[in-house]
Amino acid sequence: MSQKKYRDESGLFIAEGTKLVLDLARSFHVHYLLATADWAEESGKTLKAEIRVISKEDLNKISNQKTPQGVLAVFEKPDYILSESDISTRLSLALDDVQDPGNLGTIIRIADWFGIRDIICSEHCADAFGTKTVQATMGALARVRVHYVNLENFLQSISKKIPVYGTFMNGNDIYSETLSQQGIVLMGNEGNGISEKMEKLVTKRLLIPNFPKGEPTSESLNVSVATALVCAEFRRRG
Amino acid sequence: MSQKKYRDESGLFIAEGTKLVLDLARSFHVHYLLATADWAEESGKTLKAEIRVISKEDLNKISNQKTPQGVLAVFEKPDYILSESDISTRLSLALDDVQDPGNLGTIIRIADWFGIRDIICSEHCADAFGTKTVQATMGALARVRVHYVNLENFLQSISKKIPVYGTFMNGNDIYSETLSQQGIVLMGNEGNGISEKMEKLVTKRLLIPNFPKGEPTSESLNVSVATALVCAEFRRRG
C-alpha cells in the first residue's frame, strides 16, 4: 500500500493520526480502520466506521510514522470529475511536475486556506494519495480535489476561456497586474520551473518581486512558498 | 560534525553541492574542502581555498547527501554581532522555537529573498548550521545572519524602540493594518505557535486572512509559508 502501483489498483490510501483520520473520515469512505483500545475509547466514539482493535505493539510495527498516535485508517480514494465549465468560473491551481510529496502536501494545505477547490496535476506530479503527501496535507485533502490529467491538453482547452497565470523571472510585477478570480495559477517543477511546453500556454506572465528589487538574492523561492504568495495576492484582491 | 555539540565546540559546519559550496565560500572561510578530481577541474578553479582531492567512492562514504555532487566543504562559523541599534533601523525576523531544520532553512531563504538581513532565534530553535538547515537554505545562509539569544530579553528591550509583530487567529487583518519597515516579525513554533511569554511582548497582533473569510479550512499555515506571506506584505508596501 505504500507503493503507488498498489494504491492505484486497490483504489485505497492510508492515513495516520487522530486529527487527520477524523478530518478525512468526514469526506472519504473508511475501508478499514485499525486502532488501539485506548484510541477507540477516547477518540473513536464520533466515528461511524467499524474499528478493529489492535495492540499498540502491532500498530507500531505497521505504522509509517515515527510516533504513531494509535490509529491507522485505510480510505477509499475519491473519484473526482473534472468539469471544465466549473473550473472556468473560479480560481484553480495547476502543477507542472511538482515532484516532492512534502511540497505537494503543503500546496494542498495552501489551496485549502485560500479557498481553492481544485488542483490540476500533470501526470508526473507526486501522488496526492501517497503516505507522505497525505500526512503533509494535515487534513486539507478532505476539502481540496486533486486531479491528474494530460496537463498540456487541459491548459490548451481552458486557456481559451480563462487566463493561465505563471511566474517567471521576466514576468510582470504581480502587485501591479490585473488579476482575475477566474483563472488558473500554474506552478512549475522544483528544479526546472515551468516546462517549455506549458510555458507556451501561459497567457499572463507574473513576477513575485524580491526586495530591494534587483539586489542579489536566492535565485528562487521554494515552489510551495511561491504558490502561497501568488494565491494570497489573488485573494487579497478577491 | 553532524552533531551540534561538536559543531559548537569546533566552530565549524559542513556544506555539500557545487552551488551551495561556491555561494558559501564567498562569505565564509573554508577550513577544509574535499572534492573529486573531476570537481576540482570543472568547478574548483574559481575557488581560492586549497582542494584536497579524494576518490568518488570515499566522498560518497562520508557524504550526508543521497546524490553527492563531488564536493564537501567544512566552513568556519561566522561570529556575528547583534547590534540593537542596527536592528532598530530595519525589518528583521524573530523565531520562537522553530524546531524543524527544513522550515528554518526555508525561512532563511525567504529572508534572503525579501532583503531581511537578520534572524533572531530563541535558544531552542533548530541549528542554522546543522547539515539539513544549511542544505535547505540553498546558499541564502551566506547573506542572512542568524543569531541565537535569550529571545524574551531581546524582545523586551527592542519592543521599546520598534514594533514587534506576531500573527494570531484573533489578530487584525494584515492587509488593512499600518506596517512599519522598522520592526520585528515574530514567528512561532510549528505545533504551538507563539509561546505565552513571547506573546506578551508582541506590540501589534496581525492575522493572515483565509478565503473566503470565516469558511472552515486548515487551522493553520505552515510556519515558513506564513513567514513568506507576512514578509511579502511588508515589502509590497516598502
Q: Tell me, what CATH number does B60's domain have?
A: 3.30.1330.30
Instruction: Clarify whether residues A145 and A225 are in a common domain.
Output: yes
Instruction: Look at A221 and B138 and tell me if their CB atoms are within 8 Å.
Output: no
Nearest to B217 among A112, A215, A228 (CB): A112
The C-alpha of B33 sits at a distance from chain A's nearest C-alpha, in angstroms, of 23
Instruction: Clarify whether residues B70 and B154 are in a common domain.
Output: no
Instruction: Look at B222 and A224 and tell me if their CB atoms are within 8 Å.
Output: yes
Instruction: Look at A113 and B217 and tell me if their CB atoms are within 8 Å.
Output: yes
Q: Is pLDDT of A6 > 90? A: no
A235: closest chain B residue by CA? B211
Whole-Å CA distances, A86 to A82, A113, B42, B115, B132: 8, 20, 52, 40, 42
Instruction: Clarify whether residues A98 and A141 are in a common domain.
Output: yes
A141: closest chain B residue by CA? B218
CB of A170 closer than 8 Å to CB of A202: no
A137: closest chain B residue by CA? B218
Instruction: Look at A225 and B228 and tell me if their CB atoms are within 8 Å.
Output: yes
Instruction: Look at A210 and B138 and tell me if their CB atoms are within 8 Å.
Output: no
Instruction: Clarify whether residues A107 and A157 are in a common domain.
Output: yes
- For an interface test with B, give the residue of A104, A113, A229 to mutate (most B CBs within 10 A): A113
ipTM value of the model? 0.92
Among B25, B43, B76, identify where a domain stops. B76
Instruction: Clarify whether residues A221 and A202 are in a common domain.
Output: yes
Q: Which domain holds residue A18?
A: 4-76
Instruction: Clarify whether residues B72 and B104 are in a common domain.
Output: no
| Contacts A143 to B, Cβ<8 Å | 216-217
A174-226 tens-digit pLDDT? 999 999 999 999 999 999 999 999 999 999 999 999 998 876 665 679 999 99
Instruction: Clarify whether residues A102 and A173 are in a common domain.
Output: yes
Query: What pLDDT score does B5 carry?
Result: 67
List the beta bridge partners of residue A73: A15, A33
CA A69 – CA A88 distance, rounded (Å): 41
Looking at chain B from residue 93 to 152, which residues have their Cβ under 8 Å from any Cβ of chain A? 102, 106, 109-110, 112-115, 138-140, 143
CA B16 – CA B135 distance, rounded (Å): 7
Q: Is pLDDT of A1 > 80? A: no
Q: Identify the band that residue A5 occupies on the pLDDT scale cut at 50, 70 and 90.
A: low
Provide the edge-to-edge strand list for the sheet that holds B30-35: B12-16, B71-76, B30-35, B52-53
| Contacts A177 to B, Cβ<8 Å | none
> For chain A, what is the domain count?
2
Instruction: Clarify whether residues A71 and A96 are in a common domain.
Output: no
CB of A218 closer than 8 Å to CB of B112: yes
CA B164 – CA A156 distance, rounded (Å): 47
At B205, list the grid cell: 497582533
Instruction: Clarify whether residues A36 and A114 are in a common domain.
Output: no
Instruction: Look at A110 and B225 and tell me if their CB atoms are within 8 Å.
Output: yes
Instruction: Clarify whether residues B150 and B53 are in a common domain.
Output: no
Mean residue pLDDT of chain A comes to 93
A72-126 tens-digit pLDDT? 999 999 999 999 999 999 999 999 999 999 999 999 999 999 999 999 999 999 9
Give the 3-state secondary structure of residue A47: coil
Beta strands B204-207 and B164-173 are parallel
- For residue B148, give the H/E element and its range: strand B145-149
Q: Tell me, what CATH number does A134's domain have?
A: 3.40.1280.10
Instruction: Clarify whether residues B11 and B68 are in a common domain.
Output: yes
Among B19, B52, B76, identify where a domain stops. B76
Instruction: Clarify whether residues B98 and B142 are in a common domain.
Output: yes
Does A13 touch chain B if contact means CB atoms closer than 8 Å? no
CB of B85 closer than 8 Å to CB of B48: no
- Bond before B212 cis per omega within 30 degrees: yes
CA A125 – CA A123 distance, rounded (Å): 6
Among A27, A46, A76, identify where a domain stops. A76
